[in-house]
């Protein structure tokens, strides 16, 4: 597998301000100015900040896993996305939780899966179905990468690749081991071919059995 280090990963930069006022009225005022409140966890202390809603777009509205460098009052925090909150009515982003990366402290992250290879079952006429888009892992920041590659060359018809089949050095995978992450199923055409083949095989076998009934 290709292991990407921190230099190779894409980084989004967000410039914001430390929050000094809290409470519902202060939060409403921030949002009226199109600012989104956020918290950075994981470091020596929690950091409360706000930044323009537009600055979060490249971090939030993407399936990619990437770093986020937050610049606040002359200090920079290297983070990853932890959680998001959206308004239930208009679906606008209303809060962001980030996780500061500390080199000697393990973090939990959801890393996208990239399927590579050509499943044997697909070559035999089946349909490849992806069942999971990412894996939840625990690791040190230096081992974080944009995606986890899963080879599916040996995946056969009616077969599954499960979480337990994925082995990535330096990663503890937290998802349940037996959950399927991909499978190859019979297509409708293959099912029809099997259905018509079965009666034909039965009919072919019947004449051979008939003489035995005569005495």
Strand, coil or helix: what is 41? Answer: strand
Q: What share of residues in the chain are helix, strand, coil (percent, to 5)?
A: 25, 40, 35
Q: How many domains does the chain have?
A: 2
Q: Are residues 128 and 173 in the same domain?
A: yes
| pLDDT over 70 (residue 213) | no
Q: Answer for the pair 85, 95: CB distance below 8 angstroms, yes or no.
A: yes
Q: Are residues 79 and 24 in the same domain?
A: yes
Give the mean pLDDT of the chain: 85
| 214 within a domain of the structure (yes/no) | no
| pLDDT over 80 (residue 23) | no
Average the pLDDT over 76-87 and give the result. Answer: 92
Q: Are residues 88 and 115 in the same domain?
A: no
The first and second tokens of residue 210, run together, are 């008939």
Q: Are residues 92 and 118 in the same domain?
A: no
Q: What is the pLDDT of residues 34-74, one digit of tens each?
A: 889 999 999 889 999 999 999 999 898 888 999 999 999 88
123 phi and psi angles, rounded to 5 deg: -60, -30
More reliable by pLDDT, 210 or 142:
142
Q: Which domain holds residue 167?
A: 109-190
| 163 within a domain of the structure (yes/no) | yes
Q: How far apart are CA 95 and CA 105, in angstroms?
A: 25
More reliable by pLDDT, 200 or 57:
57
Choose one of 102, 128, 155: the last residue of a domain. 102
Q: How far apart are CA 194 and CA 187, in angstroms?
A: 11
pLDDT above 90 coverage of the chain, percent: 62
Q: Are residues 22 and 57 in the same domain?
A: yes
Virtual torsion, Cα 70, 145, 137, 140, nearest 10 deg: -70
**Confidence band for 140, pLDDT divided at 50, 70 and 90:** very high
Q: Which residue, among 51, 34, 14, 26, has the nearest Cα to 87 in the 3D structure?
A: 34
Q: How far apart are CA 78 and CA 67, in angstroms?
A: 7
pLDDT of residue 29: 78
Q: Are residues 74 and 15 in the same domain?
A: yes
| 141 within a domain of the structure (yes/no) | yes
């Amino acid at each position: 597998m290709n292991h990407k280090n921190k230099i190779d990963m894409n980084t989004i930069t967000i410039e914001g301000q430390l929050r000094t006022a809290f409470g519902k009225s202060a939060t409403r005022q921030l949002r009226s100015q199109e600012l989104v409140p956020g918290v950075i966890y994981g470091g020596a202390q929690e950091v409360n900040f706000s930044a323009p809603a537009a600055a979060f777009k490249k971090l939030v509205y993407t399936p990619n896993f990437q770093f986020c460098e937050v610049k606040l009052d002359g200090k920079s925090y290297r983070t990853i996305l932890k959680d998001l909150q959206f308004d239930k009515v208009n679906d606008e982003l209303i809060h962001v939780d980030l996780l500061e990366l500390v080199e000697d402290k393990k973090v939990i992250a959801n890393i996208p899966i990239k399927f590579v290879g050509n499943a044997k079952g697909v070559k035999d006429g089946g349909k490849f179905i992806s069942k999971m888009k990412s894996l939840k892992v625990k690791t040190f920041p230096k081992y974080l990468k944009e995606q986890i590659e899963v080879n599916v060359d040996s995946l056969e018809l009616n077969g599954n690749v499960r979480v337990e089949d994925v082995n990535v050095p330096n990663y503890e995978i937290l998802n349940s081991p037996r959950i399927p992450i991909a499978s190859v199923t019979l297509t409708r055409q293959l099912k029809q071919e099997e259905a018509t083949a079965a009666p034909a095989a039965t009919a072919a076998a019947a004449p051979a059995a008939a003489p035995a009934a005569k005495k």
